[in-house]
Amino acid sequence: MTTTTPTIAPAQVEEPTGPPKSAAAAAHSTLTSRIGSGVALAIAVLWTIPTFGLLVSSFRPEGEVKTNGWWNAFANPSFTLDNYKAVITGSDVDLATYFVNSFVITIPSVLIPISLATLAAYAFAWMDFKGRHALFVAVFALQIVPIQVTMIPLLKLYVQPPLGLPQLAGANAVGGGFWTVWLSHSIFALPLAIYLMHNFMREVPRELIESARVDGAGHVQIFTRIMLPLLTPAIAAFGIFQFLWVWNDLLVALVFAGGNLDVSPLTVRLAALAGQRGEDWHLLSAGAFVSLIVPLIVFLAGQRYFVRGLLAGSVKG
Amino acid sequence: MRATRRSRGLAAFAGLTTAAVVLSACGGGDGDGASAGGTSPGEGKAECEGLTSFGDLSGKSVSVYTSIIAPEDKAQKASYKLFEDCTGASIKYEGSSEFEAQLNVRVQGGNAPDIAYIPQPGLLKTLVQDTGQVVEAPEGVGKNVDEFWGEDWKAYGSVDDKFYAAPLGANVKSFVWYSPKMFEENGWEVPTTWDEMMTLSEDMAAQDVKPWCAGIESGDATGWVTTDWLEDSMLREVGPDVYDQWVNHEIPFDDPQVESALKRVGEILKNDDMVNGGIGDVKSIATTAFQEAGLPILKGDCGLHRQASFYAAQWPEGTDVSENGDVFAFYLPTVSEEFGQPVLGGGEFVAAFADRPEVQAFQTYLSTDTWANEKAKATPGGGWVSANTGLDIANLSSPIDKLSAETFQDPEAVFRFDGSDQMPGAVGADSFWKQMTAWITGQDDATTLENIEKSWPSS
Amino acid sequence: MSTPEKLLNLVFAVLLFFGVMGAILLLTQRLRSRNGERVQIAAFVGPSLLLVAVGLLYPAVTTIIQSFKNRALTEFVGLENYRAIFTDDSQLQVLRNTAIWVILTPVLATAIGLVYAVLIDKARFERFAKTLLFLPMAISLVGASIIWKFVYDYKATEQDQLGILNAILKSLGVDTYRFLLTEPWNTLFLIVIFIWVQAGFAMTLLSASIKAIPDEINEAARLDGASSLKMFRFITIPSIRPALIVVLTTISIATLKVFDIVRTSTGGNFGTSVLANEFYTQSFRAFQQGLGAALGTLIFVLVLPIVVYNIRQMRKLESR
């Protein structure tokens, strides 16, 4: 993410005028770096232990999982792949089908809001029009609306759309119910996406935009040739988060794809794994890891976009 | 206000399913209220006898929305096969763990399923009164219910004297789980009166076995287990009639009779000598998942666990659930002979949101003894039972299901539906659970009941 | 629908969307007049505004109106629902809990994410280290609910423990502790879960922001002999200040809306309920729709301070 403010930063550089580097200072900095590493390690361990417990549990037999703690698995090892087998083959619908559905739901639900939000954020940040501040604040504030509030009104609109638009949900839905899910995810993502993108765009130095305008570039050119390249890390970061929010979403799928069984995402299958009365939570642990793989790959793949100094580099010249 | 709301809802619904209304206008009117006409695909097949009167439903489909999810949905789907084969209709089954809230959203959003299996009469009532979209049951269903179920069951599926929903599955809640092997080793006998049960509990305690184990944690429904305890105690102490008055708020929730029933529960659940075997003290009940609460029995840490018949599914794979096995259940004994043998139970009701012929046909099929026996045969692993008296107990495979069915069909039995499931949502799915949870963690009897009484909605 | 059909649907939707967007950009590109720019602005913000207005504003307004109605939304009852909330002790506790959540979660999650991001910056295992903190974000809620069961589970001291914290206490010879039951600390233990989830979000954004600090600035400070702590205080923090505000704001808003952690862990019992959980319970389980709407409206109201703070920050930025 490129959010530096080069105009502020140089002013701050003057402040830390410490003593010249001495042996004592070097020792001190080694010490702080040791403490630093220790703290980082502590955080990493604390953050990982709970998940690690789940990972171990997912390989333990049902009786063991339910009667003693997961750390006992190391003292008396008894591991099994049964939980994974049950998750992968235990349903009358192929697990692959749920994966496909999750992908089909997620990809447009990431691409659409990001594109719309980048355009809108650009307008709010760099185009001059009456009421743009008020509008931006209103959009930003709408982040607070919880999905639960929107369920019934939105569903009504989808089932009985005004102006003779085609029915998007219900028995005669076009596109088998995917459209409502895409649309809903896009709506819910927009306020945050616009807010984030707007803040990143405001960081782009005014001189850069102005010199482009002097050169005769219009808004579309500035948007596509300056903003998009500069914002790649920001877009990638938001894209990753939006991806995993959609991937892990259960509520939107339940409400807006409701009644269309063949579009259900993986989370619907996961929720059902718990069993009729929540008795099968040993299966849930395995299910959680099956579902985790894809977001993890997306995160690892997306990391290379967070490279340093894209924006900083552009102001240098 | 309510009337205009209802008619608007109906109009909207009619707009959605114009074709269906036309269809049902053709099909309705005859005795069964559910024939589409035409020649049924099952005509002439022996197994389809009784199903051919629905007519030809080829190409039609019925959507079913339920709270019954994997793995128990498999047997449900299998039991529809006969109907699908004989009528040509197809059933689209959808189970969800978020059923209650989602059903409400879908109905209000205009995307109601054709049929929903509603586990709470209170929810059925709310849906009928608040949305007006539940369709009255066709005549054929009413006839079947009169034939195969007691009047009490029919009443639970009715709202304002109109009959909407026939019962589907059922479960017995008045069960105490125990280990027959452990009982035999210690020379303990299954108690037949409440007093015997308390004496047995004391014997166990004397032998250093914590008599009872309990757990009421159930996510956002935490506390429901204690409400069942209180209801069972009510039925035994003051009888079914007072119980009904209490459920329908004809006597206050904090009536002295209720308080004495709660005190009886407290003698077990809030007594550190009685609970909580293999887990901890009284307070540990509040944070122990109900799914795990009975498991200490297997390790011999606990002697008794009061929980419904469906707890059979909680025992880990390989546990022998039978009369002489690792675990089994006995009927929670009565306090006195005065009220017969009260049985507390639960179950689902088949509510319809459409009146197309295929929907009515399916609704009717589910209320027959044919379906009940099909379902029993489709559930070889056990874990399902119905209060349908046409159900042949021999078709049930697991010992605990047989015991449940016998309990239902026992002429001495006086059945009552889970009270919290009948109360308004604000009580039955909120304050009752929450206050009983607070009660376990230390709140006294009077305050608990008083707080629930205060939360009873005025309208 | 078969898999190829679904994929076809996907490709079609994406192509359609980008086709339309591309057309808008191409068509408005040539417009230079004042009117042309108006068209351009409309094309840039129009689609977003339309979606947000229909999908969020309209339901929000509906909710506010419903908050003045009765249980089944059939009659107006004035301020009755709000009176009920503000005179009920348990609801007041809900408001208090919500305040604790909104104050603690954003600050702690951001602080931990920031410290971690700084410490692992340019470290050898940076990618791996980041993945560890990010992991909780990627796990679905159903998974997370069991994860924390294995942490907080309570059994009496003499029993076998399922929860690791109590297992540790037991091995230290201390009595086991009811993490989810003991008021008021149980709220803090629930907050820990959300911090665990959100720290990864903070870390990812802040780390990217730190990487954007121009090298010269860091170099200059280092030549001046600034210590790590001073670098952090005088270079890092001021440079990423806008990103910090974004992260704090986003987590605050997410915290106001969080209900599933409370719902799955305690069901709102033992004095741990928060507004969003009460809103869900009243609206969808207790069928008290008017009261539910009033609780929802209170969530909207609570976001106002955050909005005002952001507006002031924006003004500052504008005027610089």
C3-to-B158, C8, C9 alpha-carbon distances in Å: 44, 8, 10
Pairing between β-strand B166-172 and β-strand B341-352 as defined by DSSP bridges:
antiparallel
Q: Hey, is the C-beta of C285 within 8 angstroms of any chain B C-beta?
A: yes
What is the residue type of B417? F
Identify the band that residue B30 occupies on the pLDDT scale cut at 50, 70 and 90: very low
Q: Which residues of A touch B291 (CB under 8 A)?
A: 277-279, 281
Contact of B413 with B150, CB cutoff 8 Å: no
Distance in Å, alpha carbon of A74 to nearest chain C alpha carbon? 14
Establish if B144 belongs to a structural domain. yes
Same domain, B140 and B206: no
Question: Per the domain annotation, does B311 fall within a domain?
Answer: yes
Q: Are C215 and A309 in contact (CB under 8 A)?
A: yes
- Measured between CB atoms, does A164 come within 8 Å of chain C? no
Query: pLDDT averaged over chain A?
Result: 79
Confidence (pLDDT) at B35: 65
Whether C62 has its CB under 8 Å from any CB of chain B: the answer is no
Give the residue extent of every domain in chain A.
29-79, 89-313
Does A9 sit within 8 Å of C217, measured CB to CB? yes
What pLDDT, on a 0 to 100 scale, did the predictor assign at position A311?
A: 42
Q: Within this chain, do residues B333 and B444 fall inside the same structural domain, yes or no?
A: yes
Strands B175-178 and B302-306, sheet pairing: antiparallel
Predicted confidence (pLDDT) per residue in B311-365, tens digit: 988 888 888 999 999 999 999 999 988 888 999 999 999 999 999 999 999 999 9
- Band (pLDDT 50/70/90 cuts) for residue B52 is confident
Report the Cα–Cα distance between both ends of chain B, in Å, rounded: 13
Rounded-to-integer distance, Cα B262 and Cα C301, Å: 41
Contact A191 C52 (CB under 8 A): yes
Computed over every residue of chain C, the mean pLDDT equals 87
- Give the per-residue pLDDT at A35: 83
Pairing relationship of beta strands B210-212 and B413-417 according to DSSP bridges: unpaired
Which residue does chain B place closest to C70, by CA atoms?
B459
Mean pLDDT of chain B: 87
Q: Which H helix or E strand runs over B303?
A: strand B302-306
The share of chain A scoring above pLDDT 90, in percent, equals 17
* B16 vs A171: CA distance, rounded Å: 9
Residues C79-110 have pLDDT tens digits of 999 999 999 888 999 999 999 999 999 999 99
Residues B212 and B256 in one domain: yes
Instruction: Give the closest of A160, A254, A255 to B110, CB-based.
Output: A160
Q: Average of pLDDT values for A13-39?
A: 62
Q: What angle do CA A144, A150, A154 make, to 5 degrees?
A: 145
pLDDT at C183 (0 to 100) = 86
Q: Is B433 a member of any domain?
A: yes
- CB contact residues (below 8 A), chain A span 181-240, against chain B: none
Residue of A nearest to B77 (CA): A92
The H-or-E segment that residue C253 falls in is helix C241-257
The Cα of A191 is separated from the nearest Cα of chain B by a number of Å equal to 24
Structure confidence at residue A315 (pLDDT): 38
Which helix (H) or strand (E) segment holds residue B199: the answer is helix B194-206
Do the chains contact at B113 and A91, CB–CB below 8 Å? no
Altogether, the residues listed in chain C come to a count of: 320
C49: pLDDT strictly greater than 90: yes
Any domain includes B55: no
Q: Which residue of A has its CA nearest to B98?
A: A254
CATH number for B110:
3.40.190.10
Give me B79's structure tokens: 């039991």
Judge if B250 and B106 occupy the same domain.
no
Contact B425 C285 (CB under 8 A): yes
Q: How far is C43 from chain A (nearest CA, A)?
A: 9
**What does the pLDDT read at residue B420?**
93
B178 shares its domain with B217 = yes
- Domain span holding position B68: 60-167+348-416
Closest CB from B94, B219, B292 relative to A261? B94
Q: What percent of chain B has pLDDT over 70?
A: 92
pLDDT of C14 strictly over 80: yes
Is C156 close to B279, i.e. CB distance below 8 A?
yes
**H helix or E strand, kind and range, residue C167:** helix C164-171
Q: For residues C211 and C23, what is the distance between their CA atoms, to the nearest angstrom?
A: 36
pLDDT of residue B254: 94
Do B136 and B271 fall into the same domain?
A: no
For the stretch A213-252, pLDDT in tens is 888 888 888 888 888 888 888 888 889 889 989 998 888 8
Facing residue for C284 by CB, picked from B101, B129, B286:
B101
Neighbours of C20 (CB within 10 A): 11
pLDDT value at residue C291: 92
Structure tokens belonging to residue B423: 């109360």
**What pLDDT score was predicted for residue B4?**
34
Contacts of B430 in chain C (CB under 8 A): 281-282, 285-286
pLDDT of C40 > 70? The answer is yes
Residue with tokens 């080829």: B58
B425, part of any domain = yes
Are residues B337 and B216 part of one domain? yes
Q: Does A183 touch chain C (CB under 8 A)?
A: yes
A5/C231 CB distance under 8 A: no
Do A233 and A278 form a contact (C-beta atoms < 8 A)? no
- How does pLDDT run across B180-202, given as a tens digit for each residue? 999 999 999 999 999 999 999 99
Q: Could you give the CA distance from residue C279 to residue B380 in angstroms, rounded to a whole number?
A: 42
Instruction: Check if the beta carbon of residue B436 is closer than 8 Å to that of residue B227.
Output: yes
* Chain B residues with a Cβ under 8 Å from any Cβ in chain C: 1-2, 5, 100-101, 104-105, 126, 129-130, 217-223, 276, 278-281, 283-284, 286-289, 301, 424-426, 429-430, 433-434, 437-438, 441, 457, 459
Q: What is the secondary structure of B394-426 as a DSSP string?
A: GG--SHHHHHHHHHHH-TTEEEEE-STTTS-HH
Tell me how crowded residue B241 is: count the other CB atoms within 10 A of its CB: 10
Q: Does A22 touch chain B (CB under 8 A)?
A: no
Q: Which of A276, A281, A283 to mutate to test the interface with B (most CBs of B within 10 A)?
A: A276
Interface size, chain B vs chain C, as Cβ–Cβ contacts under 8 Å:
94
Please tell me the CATH superfamily of domain A89-313, with its number: MetI-like (1.10.3720.10)
Same-domain check for residues B299 and B428: yes
Q: Is C55 near chain B, with CB under 8 Å?
A: no
Residue range C222-233: mean pLDDT, rounded? 78
Q: What is the DSSP letter of B308?
A: -
DSSP class of residue A249 equals -
- List the subunits that have 3+ CB pairs under 8 angstroms with B: A, C
The pair of structure tokens assigned to B426 is 């604000």
Task: Return the pLDDT at B445.
Answer: 95
Name chain C contacts of A17, Cβ cutoff 8 Å. 224
Select from A15, A21, A146 the Cβ nearest to the Cβ of C299.
Answer: A146
- Distances from the Cα of B304 to the Cαs of B178, B277, B285, B322, in angstroms? 5, 9, 14, 15
Quote the crossing angle between the two packed helices C141-152 and C164-171, to the nearest 10°: 20
**3-class secondary-structure state, position B340:** coil
Whether chain A has a CB inside 8 Å of the CB on C50: the answer is: no
Query: Which residue is closest to C299 within chain A, CA to CA?
Result: A144
Is A275 part of the contact surface with chain C (CB cutoff 8 Å)? no
Helix (H) or strand (E) holding C84: helix C80-87
Lowest-confidence pick of A66-70, B36-40, B75-79: B36-40
The mean per-residue pLDDT over the stretch B217-221 comes to: 86
Q: CB distance from B97 to chain A under 8 Å? A: yes
pLDDT tens column, A250-265: 888 888 876 667 788 8
Phi-psi region of B381 (alpha: psi -120 to 50; beta: other; left: phi over 0): alpha
- Quote the CA–CA distance of B7 and B4 in Å, as a whole number: 5
Q: Which subunits sit against C, judged by 3+ Cβ pairs under 8 A?
A: A, B
Percent of chain C scoring above 70 in pLDDT: 98
Report residue C76 as tokens: 């107006």
Q: Report the residue of chain A nearest B95, measured CA to CA.
A: A272
Task: Confirm whether B96 is domain-assigned.
Answer: yes
**B308 and B329 assigned to the same domain:** yes
B254 in Cβ contact with B452 (< 8 Å): yes
Say if residue B160 is in the same domain as residue B116: yes
Q: Quote the pLDDT of residue B21.
A: 33
> A314 or B431: which carries more pLDDT confidence?
B431
Q: Which amino acid is at A283?
A: L
Question: What DSSP state is assigned to residue A299?
Answer: H
- Chain B CB contacts of C264 under 8 Å are 219-220
Judged by a CB distance cut-off of 8 A, whether residue B14 touches chain A is: no
Q: How many domains does chain B have?
A: 2
- The size of the A-B interface in CB pairs under 8 A is 104
**What is the band of B212 on the pLDDT scale with cuts at 50, 70, 90?**
very high
State residue B284's pLDDT score. Answer: 92
Interval B408-427 mean pLDDT:
90
Please report residues of B whose CB lies closer than 8 A to that of A63. Answer: 316-318
Both B185 and B241 in a single domain?
A: yes
Of A159-173, A182-196, B434-448, C54-68, the poorest mean pLDDT is in A159-173
Same domain, B313 and B430: yes
Q: What is the pLDDT of residue A12?
A: 38
Three-state SS at B14: helix
